[in-house]
Amino acid sequence: MTLKDRISNLFRGNKGEIEIGKFKDEYFEILLESDVSFETVEYILETFEKKHSKEKRLKREEAVESLKEILREILVKARPGRDIFNPEKKPLIIMFLGINGTGKTTTIARLAYLMKKNGKTVVIAASDTFRAGAIEQIRYHGEDLGIRVIYQEMGADPSAIAYDAIEHARARNMDYVLIDTAGRMQTNKNLMDEMRKIKRVSKPDMTFLTVDAMAATDAIEQATTFLRDIKFDGIVVNKLDTDVRGGSIFSIAHKFKEPIYFLGVGQKLEDLIPYDPEFILKKVFG
């Protein structure tokens, strides 16, 4: 059952009004079952209680709108303040982090598609040299998009590939360098050392972390680990279209100071959209 369905069921049978205390208890359970983290649930309900501290009952519409505003406040705080489609320098170098399965390589292809659609020039660095499949995947996307991919064979130095891609872009006055990286488990020390080396060599202007909306609290744990080991500047949340419960996006937005830049909302290249709080609220409230 989706978060939208759970909220609808909460008000079913109420004759226009609800008791604040009962509503809080039921909504607490609904949020937890919808993959909203405990910390975020507590924040939402504490905020709701403060807003309605002098009331014992609320009209259904008022309660819905009040909740919507609290959730909107959480989402708006995660809105990015930087427009990467109008970069202040050339090339703008963006490095991508994320464990396998979070849609990192697909995100790079989709972002390259968006950039090219906006008349920008892009080169991709295939710096995940730990898996032959990763190199082939990004090369396939590059060929499909007509975008140059700088790569070497499996086992090559990822930092050298990133460096070559940056030099390629500088020599041709290109707009962007997008750097793919390995995504084995985030607790792997060798992988973290490699990520730090790539970042040290490439000196990216921005570092994005990709997370899987379906992973719920795991997504937050992934981000927390990366945040401790390697600083990132923004988040891309993927698989919102297949996130049945629908609550993890609120936890991600609430937990981190880093903004959310993009949302993956489908299977096609064009299904990466700029972060939009209203898009998410519409999914939840209709």
What is the CA angle 114-115-117, rounded to 5? 65
List pLDDT tens digits, range 160-180: 999 999 999 999 999 999 999
Query: Pick from 28, 26, 50: which is nearest to 38 by CA?
Result: 28
- Which residues, in sequence order, are bridge partners of residue 236? 210, 262
Answer yes or no: do 130 and 193 share one domain: yes
Query: Pick from 247, 184, 235, 270: which is nearest to 38 by CA?
Result: 247
Question: What pLDDT does 143 receive?
Answer: 95
Question: What pLDDT does 192 receive?
Answer: 81
Encoded amino acid at 52, one letter: H
125 in a structural domain: yes
Question: What pLDDT does 2 receive?
Answer: 67
The number of distinct structural domains making up the chain is 2
Structural domain including 73 reads 3-77
Angstrom distance (rounded) from CA 142 to CA 108: 10
Angstrom distance (rounded) from CA 82 to CA 186: 27
39 in a structural domain: yes
Answer yes or no: do 19 and 63 share one domain: yes
Question: What pLDDT does 32 receive?
Answer: 83
- Domain edge (last residue) among 14, 44, 77: 77
Answer yes or no: do 112 and 149 share one domain: yes
- Separation of first and last alpha carbons in the chain: 15
Answer yes or no: do 56 and 98 share one domain: no
List pLDDT tens digits, range 253-285: 998 889 999 999 988 899 999 999 999 998 887
Answer yes or no: do 112 and 209 share one domain: yes
Question: What pLDDT does 15 receive?
Answer: 57
Answer yes or no: do 61 and 171 share one domain: no
Answer yes or no: do 35 and 114 share one domain: no
Answer yes or no: do 37 and 103 share one domain: no
Question: What pLDDT does 136 receive?
Answer: 93
87 in a structural domain: no
Angstrom distance (rounded) from CA 168 to CA 229: 29
269 in a structural domain: yes
- Domain edge (last residue) among 30, 54, 77: 77
86 in a structural domain: no
Reported as type and span, the H/E element at residue 236 is strand 234-238
Question: What pLDDT does 10 receive?
Answer: 64
Answer yes or no: do 143 and 244 share one domain: yes
φ, ψ at 255 (rounded to 5°): -75, -40
84 in a structural domain: no
Question: CATH number, domain at 176?
Answer: 3.40.50.300
Question: What pLDDT does 159 receive?
Answer: 96
- Domain edge (last residue) among 49, 77, 105: 77
Question: CATH number, domain at 57?
Answer: 1.20.120
Answer yes or no: do 203 and 117 share one domain: yes
85 in a structural domain: no
212 in a structural domain: yes
What would the DSSP string read from start to end of 21-75?
HHHHHHHHHHHHHTT--HHHHHHHHHHHHHHTTT-SEEEHHHHHHHHHHHHHHHH
Question: What pLDDT does 131 receive?
Answer: 82
Give whole-number Cα distances, 127 to 119, 130, 134, 198, in Å.
25, 9, 9, 8
Question: What pLDDT does 118 receive?
Answer: 93
Q: What is the pTM of this model?
A: 0.90
Q: Which two tokens stand for residue 93?
A: 């170098």
Answer yes or no: do 58 and 152 share one domain: no
Residues of the chain falling short of pLDDT 70: 1-2, 4, 7-16, 184-188, 216, 243-246
Answer yes or no: do 207 and 261 share one domain: yes
